[in-house]
Amino acid sequence: VDDLFRRLRSSRAVAVAEAHTVLDDPPTPVLAPSDAATQSSPEPEREGGEAGPDGQAAWWTALGRTLKRAVVDEQADLLDGLRREGVDAVARHLAGDPVERWRPVLADVLADVLVDDADVDAAVAVVVELVEDPLRYRLRAALDEGDDADELTAVLRAAYRDARGRRVGDALTALADVVEPPDTA
């Protein structure tokens, strides 16, 4: 009976986490037909493929969304693993290499603006240091305190909420020193 209730709580917890993810994303404004008609036409695209400073802002926003999506996907995988396999799934995640996890994510999104692998490695190092390392620290501390899946789930959610909210923003700020956005001239 206890196992049944534990599985029910876990499945509800996953649904709640997904709902929080949806609610954390800013809503897309819907324009009324009259508003759409009065909307000014966008600045024509320039040679670099982006439209001026607005293009840079859009590029940084897209990069932020990509990082947040990667964090959300990792959280969902960990919650699912925790539900299916218990704390062993979190321990296995912590044993993995964070560089291997983040390199493909950043290599894909930064392929147009980074020249060589050293630039990708620098970007990965920033994200690992500012996003992944604090997550791993909190998860390791929770594992060291005990193996209660419910407590670990609460810590996991709080850590990933912090990563999506504050840490991804910190990483984007630091990435500005490493990454040159697409040409806007």
The radius of gyration of the chain from alpha carbons, rounded to an integer in Å, stands at 20
What is the C-alpha to C-alpha distance for residues 140 and 66, in angstroms, rounded to an integer?
25
Per-residue pLDDT tens for 145-156?
888 888 889 999
- The mean per-residue pLDDT over the stretch 45-52 comes to 42
pLDDT number for residue 30: 40
- The mean per-residue pLDDT over the stretch 22-50 comes to 42
What is the C-alpha to C-alpha distance for residues 52 and 44, in angstroms, rounded to an integer?
9
CB 63 within 8 A of CB 172: yes
pTM of the model: 0.66
pLDDT number for residue 19: 59
